[in-house]
Amino acid sequence: MSNSTGLGYTPASALYANTDFSKLSWLETQWAAWYLWIDNPVIATGLMSFLLHEIVYFGRCIPWILIDATPYFRKWKLQPTKIPTAREQWECTKQVLFSHFTIELPAIWLFHPFAELFGLSTWQVPFPDWQTVAMQVAFFFVFEDGFHFFAHRALHWGPLYKHIHKIHHKYAAPFGLAAEYAHPAEVFILGTGTLGGPILYTSLFHNLHIFTVYVWIVLRLFQAVDSHSGYDFPWSLQHIVPFWSGADHHDFHHMAFVNNFSTSFRWFDHFFGTDDKYREYKAKVNAAKASGLSPKELAALELRIAQQAEKEGVEAEKVVEAYNFKLKTA
Ligand SMILES: [Zn+2]
Ligand SMILES: [Zn+2]
Protein backbone atom coordinates (compact mmCIF):
# COMPACT_ATOMS: atom_id res chain seq x y z
CA MET A 1 0.00 0.00 0.00
CA SER A 2 1.51 3.29 -1.04
CA ASN A 3 1.21 6.17 1.36
CA SER A 4 2.02 9.82 1.59
CA THR A 5 1.44 10.39 5.27
CA GLY A 6 5.02 9.92 6.38
CA LEU A 7 3.78 7.47 9.01
CA GLY A 8 5.10 4.40 7.17
CA TYR A 9 1.52 3.21 6.63
CA THR A 10 -1.82 4.54 5.43
CA PRO A 11 -4.22 5.10 8.34
CA ALA A 12 -7.42 3.06 8.13
CA SER A 13 -9.59 6.18 8.09
CA ALA A 14 -8.02 7.08 4.72
CA LEU A 15 -8.30 3.51 3.42
CA TYR A 16 -12.08 3.44 3.94
CA ALA A 17 -12.71 6.99 2.67
CA ASN A 18 -14.72 5.74 -0.34
CA THR A 19 -16.41 2.74 1.30
CA ASP A 20 -20.21 2.59 1.47
CA PHE A 21 -20.75 0.99 4.89
CA SER A 22 -24.52 0.62 4.36
CA LYS A 23 -23.83 -2.15 1.79
CA LEU A 24 -21.70 -4.32 4.10
CA SER A 25 -22.64 -7.45 6.03
CA TRP A 26 -22.31 -7.55 9.82
CA LEU A 27 -18.97 -9.40 9.64
CA GLU A 28 -17.58 -7.01 7.01
CA THR A 29 -18.57 -4.04 9.20
CA GLN A 30 -16.76 -5.64 12.19
CA TRP A 31 -13.74 -6.25 9.97
CA ALA A 32 -13.56 -2.59 8.91
CA ALA A 33 -14.19 -1.50 12.53
CA TRP A 34 -11.17 -3.54 13.66
CA TYR A 35 -8.90 -1.86 11.09
CA LEU A 36 -10.36 1.57 11.96
CA TRP A 37 -9.87 0.94 15.69
CA ILE A 38 -6.22 -0.15 15.40
CA ASP A 39 -5.68 2.46 12.65
CA ASN A 40 -2.48 0.77 11.45
CA PRO A 41 -3.11 -2.04 8.93
CA VAL A 42 0.23 -3.75 9.62
CA ILE A 43 -0.48 -4.07 13.35
CA ALA A 44 -4.20 -4.81 12.76
CA THR A 45 -3.43 -7.77 10.43
CA GLY A 46 -0.54 -9.07 12.56
CA LEU A 47 -2.54 -8.95 15.78
CA MET A 48 -5.68 -10.46 14.24
CA SER A 49 -3.66 -13.32 12.67
CA PHE A 50 -1.87 -14.12 15.92
CA LEU A 51 -5.06 -13.98 18.03
CA LEU A 52 -6.95 -16.13 15.50
CA HIS A 53 -4.23 -18.77 15.62
CA GLU A 54 -4.05 -18.85 19.45
CA ILE A 55 -7.82 -18.80 20.01
CA VAL A 56 -8.58 -21.48 17.40
CA TYR A 57 -5.66 -23.77 18.31
CA PHE A 58 -6.16 -23.81 22.08
CA GLY A 59 -9.94 -23.43 21.76
CA ARG A 60 -10.07 -26.57 19.62
CA CYS A 61 -7.86 -28.42 22.13
CA ILE A 62 -10.24 -27.77 25.06
CA PRO A 63 -12.94 -30.30 24.00
CA TRP A 64 -10.21 -32.95 23.57
CA ILE A 65 -8.80 -32.23 27.04
CA LEU A 66 -12.32 -32.69 28.47
CA ILE A 67 -12.86 -35.88 26.43
CA ASP A 68 -9.56 -37.30 27.73
CA ALA A 69 -10.75 -36.57 31.27
CA THR A 70 -14.07 -38.39 30.70
CA PRO A 71 -13.87 -42.23 30.87
CA TYR A 72 -17.16 -42.54 28.91
CA PHE A 73 -15.27 -41.66 25.66
CA ARG A 74 -12.55 -44.29 26.24
CA LYS A 75 -14.32 -46.79 23.96
CA TRP A 76 -13.50 -44.60 20.94
CA LYS A 77 -9.86 -43.96 21.92
CA LEU A 78 -7.53 -45.40 19.29
CA GLN A 79 -4.93 -46.41 21.91
CA PRO A 80 -7.22 -46.81 24.93
CA THR A 81 -4.50 -47.72 27.42
CA LYS A 82 -2.61 -44.49 26.72
CA ILE A 83 -4.43 -41.49 28.18
CA PRO A 84 -2.29 -38.33 28.40
CA THR A 85 -1.74 -37.17 31.97
CA ALA A 86 -2.44 -33.58 33.05
CA ARG A 87 1.30 -33.13 33.54
CA GLU A 88 2.08 -34.32 29.98
CA GLN A 89 -0.55 -31.97 28.56
CA TRP A 90 0.81 -29.02 30.55
CA GLU A 91 4.43 -29.72 29.52
CA CYS A 92 3.27 -29.91 25.90
CA THR A 93 1.26 -26.64 26.21
CA LYS A 94 4.29 -24.76 27.60
CA GLN A 95 6.47 -25.96 24.73
CA VAL A 96 3.85 -25.07 22.10
CA LEU A 97 3.32 -21.60 23.65
CA PHE A 98 7.08 -21.02 23.68
CA SER A 99 7.29 -21.77 19.96
CA HIS A 100 4.20 -19.63 19.22
CA PHE A 101 5.73 -16.58 20.87
CA THR A 102 9.31 -17.03 19.64
CA ILE A 103 8.78 -18.26 16.07
CA GLU A 104 5.20 -17.75 14.96
CA LEU A 105 4.65 -14.28 16.44
CA PRO A 106 7.57 -12.67 14.55
CA ALA A 107 6.62 -14.62 11.41
CA ILE A 108 3.00 -13.46 11.61
CA TRP A 109 4.14 -9.88 12.23
CA LEU A 110 6.10 -9.90 9.01
CA PHE A 111 3.15 -11.40 7.17
CA HIS A 112 1.24 -8.21 6.30
CA PRO A 113 3.99 -6.42 4.31
CA PHE A 114 4.98 -9.75 2.76
CA ALA A 115 1.37 -10.56 1.85
CA GLU A 116 0.73 -7.13 0.33
CA LEU A 117 3.87 -7.51 -1.73
CA PHE A 118 2.24 -10.58 -3.32
CA GLY A 119 -1.05 -8.74 -3.80
CA LEU A 120 -3.13 -10.19 -0.95
CA SER A 121 -6.14 -8.07 0.11
CA THR A 122 -6.33 -7.48 3.86
CA TRP A 123 -8.37 -4.50 5.09
CA GLN A 124 -10.58 -4.42 1.98
CA VAL A 125 -14.35 -4.95 2.20
CA PRO A 126 -16.59 -6.53 0.99
CA PHE A 127 -15.22 -10.08 1.16
CA PRO A 128 -15.18 -12.35 -1.90
CA ASP A 129 -18.33 -14.46 -2.49
CA TRP A 130 -18.54 -17.89 -0.84
CA GLN A 131 -18.01 -19.83 -4.11
CA THR A 132 -14.62 -18.12 -4.58
CA VAL A 133 -13.71 -18.78 -0.93
CA ALA A 134 -14.69 -22.47 -1.22
CA MET A 135 -12.77 -23.00 -4.46
CA GLN A 136 -9.61 -21.33 -3.12
CA VAL A 137 -9.76 -23.19 0.21
CA ALA A 138 -10.15 -26.51 -1.66
CA PHE A 139 -7.00 -25.67 -3.64
CA PHE A 140 -5.09 -24.89 -0.40
CA PHE A 141 -6.18 -28.23 1.09
CA VAL A 142 -4.92 -30.20 -1.92
CA PHE A 143 -1.68 -28.19 -2.21
CA GLU A 144 -0.87 -28.54 1.51
CA ASP A 145 -1.60 -32.25 1.56
CA GLY A 146 0.78 -32.91 -1.34
CA PHE A 147 3.50 -30.65 0.03
CA HIS A 148 3.17 -32.19 3.48
CA PHE A 149 3.36 -35.74 2.13
CA PHE A 150 6.78 -35.19 0.50
CA ALA A 151 8.18 -32.89 3.21
CA HIS A 152 7.07 -35.30 5.95
CA ARG A 153 8.67 -38.23 4.15
CA ALA A 154 11.90 -36.21 3.88
CA LEU A 155 11.69 -35.54 7.63
CA HIS A 156 11.80 -39.31 8.16
CA TRP A 157 15.23 -39.45 6.50
CA GLY A 158 17.87 -40.24 9.16
CA PRO A 159 19.65 -36.90 9.69
CA LEU A 160 16.48 -34.80 9.39
CA TYR A 161 14.57 -37.20 11.62
CA LYS A 162 17.17 -37.33 14.35
CA HIS A 163 17.75 -33.56 14.52
CA ILE A 164 14.29 -32.19 13.70
CA HIS A 165 11.27 -34.49 13.40
CA LYS A 166 12.02 -36.78 16.38
CA ILE A 167 10.60 -34.10 18.72
CA HIS A 168 7.13 -34.40 17.12
CA HIS A 169 7.32 -38.18 17.54
CA LYS A 170 7.73 -37.88 21.32
CA TYR A 171 4.12 -38.98 21.76
CA ALA A 172 3.38 -42.47 20.38
CA ALA A 173 -0.24 -41.87 21.43
CA PRO A 174 -0.85 -38.23 20.43
CA PHE A 175 -3.41 -35.82 21.87
CA GLY A 176 -4.82 -32.57 20.44
CA LEU A 177 -2.25 -30.25 22.05
CA ALA A 178 0.59 -32.26 20.48
CA ALA A 179 -0.40 -31.14 16.95
CA GLU A 180 2.09 -28.26 16.95
CA TYR A 181 4.60 -29.86 19.31
CA ALA A 182 7.60 -29.76 16.99
CA HIS A 183 11.10 -28.44 16.35
CA PRO A 184 11.15 -24.78 15.13
CA ALA A 185 12.62 -25.95 11.81
CA GLU A 186 9.71 -28.36 11.38
CA VAL A 187 7.20 -25.58 12.13
CA PHE A 188 8.89 -23.58 9.38
CA ILE A 189 9.16 -26.45 6.84
CA LEU A 190 5.60 -27.74 7.26
CA GLY A 191 4.21 -24.21 7.71
CA THR A 192 5.44 -23.56 4.16
CA GLY A 193 2.86 -26.07 2.96
CA THR A 194 0.10 -24.20 4.80
CA LEU A 195 1.06 -20.70 3.60
CA GLY A 196 2.61 -21.78 0.28
CA GLY A 197 -0.81 -22.39 -1.32
CA PRO A 198 -2.09 -18.84 -0.59
CA ILE A 199 1.25 -17.26 -1.63
CA LEU A 200 1.33 -19.23 -4.88
CA TYR A 201 -2.31 -18.46 -5.61
CA THR A 202 -2.07 -14.72 -4.98
CA SER A 203 1.16 -14.35 -6.95
CA LEU A 204 -0.43 -16.12 -9.94
CA PHE A 205 -3.93 -14.64 -9.88
CA HIS A 206 -3.70 -11.50 -7.67
CA ASN A 207 -7.16 -12.32 -6.41
CA LEU A 208 -7.05 -13.49 -2.81
CA HIS A 209 -8.42 -11.97 0.39
CA ILE A 210 -6.84 -12.69 3.78
CA PHE A 211 -10.37 -13.55 4.98
CA THR A 212 -10.18 -16.64 2.71
CA VAL A 213 -6.73 -17.44 4.13
CA TYR A 214 -8.25 -17.24 7.64
CA VAL A 215 -11.02 -19.67 6.66
CA TRP A 216 -8.30 -22.02 5.42
CA ILE A 217 -6.13 -21.58 8.56
CA VAL A 218 -9.12 -22.28 10.85
CA LEU A 219 -9.98 -25.49 8.94
CA ARG A 220 -6.31 -26.52 8.80
CA LEU A 221 -5.98 -26.02 12.58
CA PHE A 222 -9.11 -28.13 13.16
CA GLN A 223 -7.63 -30.80 10.87
CA ALA A 224 -4.25 -30.76 12.68
CA VAL A 225 -5.67 -30.83 16.23
CA ASP A 226 -8.35 -33.41 15.42
CA SER A 227 -5.93 -35.74 13.63
CA HIS A 228 -3.79 -35.77 16.81
CA SER A 229 -6.79 -36.19 19.12
CA GLY A 230 -6.41 -39.97 19.40
CA TYR A 231 -10.17 -40.58 18.96
CA ASP A 232 -12.08 -42.13 16.11
CA PHE A 233 -15.83 -41.67 16.62
CA PRO A 234 -18.50 -43.28 14.42
CA TRP A 235 -19.36 -39.70 13.35
CA SER A 236 -15.74 -38.70 12.57
CA LEU A 237 -15.34 -37.12 9.14
CA GLN A 238 -13.39 -40.09 7.69
CA HIS A 239 -16.52 -42.27 8.04
CA ILE A 240 -18.48 -39.76 5.93
CA VAL A 241 -15.72 -38.75 3.47
CA PRO A 242 -13.72 -41.97 2.87
CA PHE A 243 -10.61 -40.22 1.48
CA TRP A 244 -10.34 -37.95 4.54
CA SER A 245 -7.41 -39.04 6.76
CA GLY A 246 -8.60 -38.12 10.25
CA ALA A 247 -7.21 -39.26 13.59
CA ASP A 248 -7.40 -42.94 12.65
CA HIS A 249 -4.81 -42.39 9.88
CA HIS A 250 -2.37 -40.10 11.74
CA ASP A 251 -2.60 -41.90 15.09
CA PHE A 252 -1.17 -44.96 13.33
CA HIS A 253 1.78 -42.86 12.10
CA HIS A 254 2.61 -41.92 15.70
CA MET A 255 2.01 -45.42 17.06
CA ALA A 256 3.79 -47.45 14.37
CA PHE A 257 6.28 -44.78 13.20
CA VAL A 258 5.91 -45.91 9.56
CA ASN A 259 3.26 -45.15 6.90
CA ASN A 260 0.65 -42.36 6.59
CA PHE A 261 2.70 -39.24 5.86
CA SER A 262 -0.02 -36.98 4.45
CA THR A 263 -2.27 -34.62 6.41
CA SER A 264 -5.82 -34.26 5.11
CA PHE A 265 -6.31 -36.94 2.46
CA ARG A 266 -5.48 -40.61 2.07
CA TRP A 267 -4.74 -40.66 -1.67
CA PHE A 268 -0.98 -39.85 -1.63
CA ASP A 269 -0.15 -42.64 0.83
CA HIS A 270 -2.39 -44.98 -1.11
CA PHE A 271 -0.82 -44.10 -4.47
CA PHE A 272 2.79 -44.34 -3.21
CA GLY A 273 2.12 -47.48 -1.17
CA THR A 274 3.05 -45.87 2.13
CA ASP A 275 -0.10 -47.20 3.77
CA ASP A 276 0.66 -50.94 3.38
CA LYS A 277 1.44 -51.53 7.09
CA TYR A 278 -1.56 -49.43 8.10
CA ARG A 279 -3.91 -51.45 5.91
CA GLU A 280 -2.43 -54.70 7.23
CA TYR A 281 -3.02 -53.45 10.77
CA LYS A 282 -6.61 -52.41 10.03
CA ALA A 283 -7.28 -55.82 8.43
CA LYS A 284 -6.03 -57.59 11.59
CA VAL A 285 -8.19 -55.37 13.84
CA ASN A 286 -11.27 -55.91 11.64
CA ALA A 287 -10.68 -59.69 11.59
CA ALA A 288 -10.44 -59.65 15.39
CA LYS A 289 -13.72 -57.69 15.60
CA ALA A 290 -15.46 -60.21 13.35
CA SER A 291 -14.21 -63.26 15.28
CA GLY A 292 -17.00 -63.27 17.87
CA LEU A 293 -14.80 -62.72 20.94
CA SER A 294 -16.17 -61.29 24.16
CA PRO A 295 -15.58 -57.52 24.58
CA LYS A 296 -12.84 -58.24 27.14
CA GLU A 297 -11.08 -60.79 24.91
CA LEU A 298 -11.40 -58.47 21.92
CA ALA A 299 -9.87 -55.56 23.84
CA ALA A 300 -6.95 -57.78 24.87
CA LEU A 301 -6.41 -58.98 21.30
CA GLU A 302 -6.62 -55.44 19.89
CA LEU A 303 -4.05 -54.35 22.47
CA ARG A 304 -1.68 -57.15 21.40
CA ILE A 305 -2.05 -56.18 17.70
CA ALA A 306 -1.32 -52.53 18.56
CA GLN A 307 1.66 -53.45 20.74
CA GLN A 308 3.11 -55.54 17.92
CA ALA A 309 2.80 -52.60 15.46
CA GLU A 310 4.35 -50.27 18.03
CA LYS A 311 7.22 -52.68 18.69
CA GLU A 312 7.99 -52.89 14.95
CA GLY A 313 7.83 -49.07 14.89
CA VAL A 314 10.45 -48.78 17.63
CA GLU A 315 12.75 -51.00 15.52
CA ALA A 316 12.01 -48.96 12.36
CA GLU A 317 12.85 -45.75 14.26
CA LYS A 318 16.19 -47.22 15.36
CA VAL A 319 17.04 -48.01 11.73
CA VAL A 320 16.22 -44.43 10.66
CA GLU A 321 18.31 -42.95 13.48
CA ALA A 322 21.23 -45.28 12.73
CA TYR A 323 21.48 -43.77 9.24
CA ASN A 324 23.19 -40.71 10.67
CA PHE A 325 25.70 -42.90 12.47
CA LYS A 326 26.48 -44.81 9.26
CA LEU A 327 27.11 -41.52 7.44
CA LYS A 328 29.64 -40.43 10.06
CA THR A 329 31.56 -43.72 10.16
CA ALA A 330 31.51 -44.44 6.43
ZN1 LIG B 1 6.43 -38.36 11.22
ZN1 LIG C 1 1.74 -35.83 14.19
Per-residue pLDDT of 109-141, as tens digits, reads: 777 777 778 889 999 999 999 999 999 999 999
Ligand 2 centroid to Cα of residue 262, in Å, is 10
Ligand 2 centroid to Cα of residue 124, in Å, is 36
Ligand 1 centroid to Cα of residue 190, in Å, is 11
Write down the pTM of the prediction.
0.92
* Confidence (pLDDT) at 4: 44
Ligand 2 centroid to Cα of residue 14, in Å, is 45
Q: Which stretches in the chain have pLDDT values below 70? A: 1-8, 324-330
Alpha-carbon distance of 209 to 114, in angstroms, equals 14
Alpha-carbon distance of 168 to 69, in angstroms, equals 23
* Confidence (pLDDT) at 329: 52
* Contact present, 120 and 208 (Cβ < 8 Å): yes
Domain residue ranges of the chain, discontinuous segments joined by +: 21-329
Nearest to 252 by CA among 92, 79, 125: 79
113: burial class by Cβ within 10 Å (0-12, 13-18, 19+)? middle
Ligand 2 centroid to Cα of residue 251, in Å, is 8
* Confidence (pLDDT) at 6: 57
* Confidence (pLDDT) at 330: 47
